[in-house]
């Protein structure tokens, strides 16, 4: 059943190629930030980052953005608004499974773009990716953890649609905070100490900054293991919260449906 859903969703994603290409255009911000920070570091390293380091960093950000992307909040909002959710509530699988199959189907297309960029960053100059392969091997599970955190937050915010007409407003606040605290706009090392300590506990940095730091070698193996343990805990807590909000929302939805 789940495999069939993934296959269907992948075919749907392929059918809307123009929409997929438009989404790719929206991912140019890391390249814009790359040009900006390279100019800042033109006369010397900035907080330990040379222009070559910024090359690798923002290419890694682009890869992580592609591989942790999720759009479930729009799917959940639309299903609640149109009543399409009633159809999924009658199916033998939980609606969350349906939304996750959409995410993994889109991930397949994201890989087509991410892999060439990944190998480009891998072969670039400067310090480049870490040569400690044990730490480098943690990159795939870190990316999966980042995707699951993003997925859980999207489902959690989307479930607020049972009470709020359009919970996308909440998602915009999440996206704004994420741009600053995830390492998307700039390395978290640039934050003041107190802000960085706070960022180290919040889920944002585990979506992008953690896998980027693993790739660029800006985190030690011991630190990476500790951060990934916290990432796994965040995945469990966020999915539990999303399920709790969903169940209460479905009861309300059924009462009015």
C-alpha–C-alpha distance, residues 257 and 89, integer Å: 12
21 has pLDDT over 80:
no
User: In this structure, what is the dihedral angle of CA atoms 73, 77, 79, 82, given to the nearest 10 degrees?
Assistant: -160
16 has pLDDT over 80:
no
The whole-angstrom distance between residue 181's C-alpha and the CA centroid of its chain comes to: 12
pLDDT band at 255 (very low <50, low <70, confident <90, very high): very low
Cut 0.95: pTM above it: no
219 has pLDDT over 80:
yes
Two structure tokens written together for 214: 């693993």
The alpha helices in 84-219, defined as continuous H runs, are 85-89, 95-122, 133-136, 139-159, 168-181, 193-199, 209-216
8 has pLDDT over 80:
no
C-alpha–C-alpha distance, residues 136 and 132, integer Å: 6
Lowest mean pLDDT among 75-79, 163-167, 200-204: 163-167
Q: How many percent of the chain have pLDDT more than 70?
A: 85
Lowest mean pLDDT among 21-35, 197-211, 221-235: 21-35
pLDDT band at 127 (very low <50, low <70, confident <90, very high): very low
- Measured CA to CA in angstroms, residue 102 lies from 73, 148, 184, 191, 242 at distances of 12, 13, 24, 35, 17
Average pLDDT over residues 156-185: 90
pLDDT score of 232: 97
C-alpha–C-alpha distance, residues 191 and 170, integer Å: 24
* Contact between residue 118 and residue 63 where contact means Cβ atoms under 8 Å apart: yes
52 has pLDDT over 80:
yes
Under 8 Å CB-to-CB from 214, ≥6 apart: which residues? 130, 135, 136, 138, 139, 142, 224
């Amino acid at each position: 059943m789940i495999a069939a859903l993934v296959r269907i969703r992948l075919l749907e994603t392929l059918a809307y190629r123009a929409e997929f290409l438009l989404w790719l255009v929206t991912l140019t911000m890391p390249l814009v930030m790359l040009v900006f920070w390279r100019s800042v570091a033109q006369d010397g390293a900035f907080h330990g980052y040379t222009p070559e380091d910024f090359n690798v960093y923002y290419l890694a950000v682009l890869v992580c953005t592609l591989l942790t992307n999720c759009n479930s909040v729009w799917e959940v909002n639309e299903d609640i608004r149109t009543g399409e959710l009633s159809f999924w509530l009658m199916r033998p699988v939980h609606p969350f499974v349906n939304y996750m199959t959409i995410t993994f189907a889109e991930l397949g297309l994201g890989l087509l773009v991410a892999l060439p960029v990944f190998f480009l960053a891998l072969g670039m100059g400067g310090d480049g990716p870490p040569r400690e392969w044990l730490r480098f091997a943690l990159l795939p599970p870190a990316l999966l953890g980042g995707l699951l955190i993003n997925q859980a937050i999207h489902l959690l915010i989307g479930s607020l649609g049972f009470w709020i007409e359009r919970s996308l407003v909440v998602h915009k606040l999440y996206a704004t905070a994420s741009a600053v605290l995830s390492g998307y706009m700039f390395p978290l090392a640039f934050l003041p100490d107190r802000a960085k300590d706070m960022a180290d506990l919040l889920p944002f940095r585990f979506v992008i900054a953690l896998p980027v730091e693993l790739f660029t070698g800006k985190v030690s193996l011991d630190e990476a293991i500790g951060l990934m343990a916290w990432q796994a805990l965040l995945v469990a807590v966020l999915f539990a919260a999303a399920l709790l909000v969903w169940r209460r929302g479905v009861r309300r939805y059924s009462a009015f449906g």
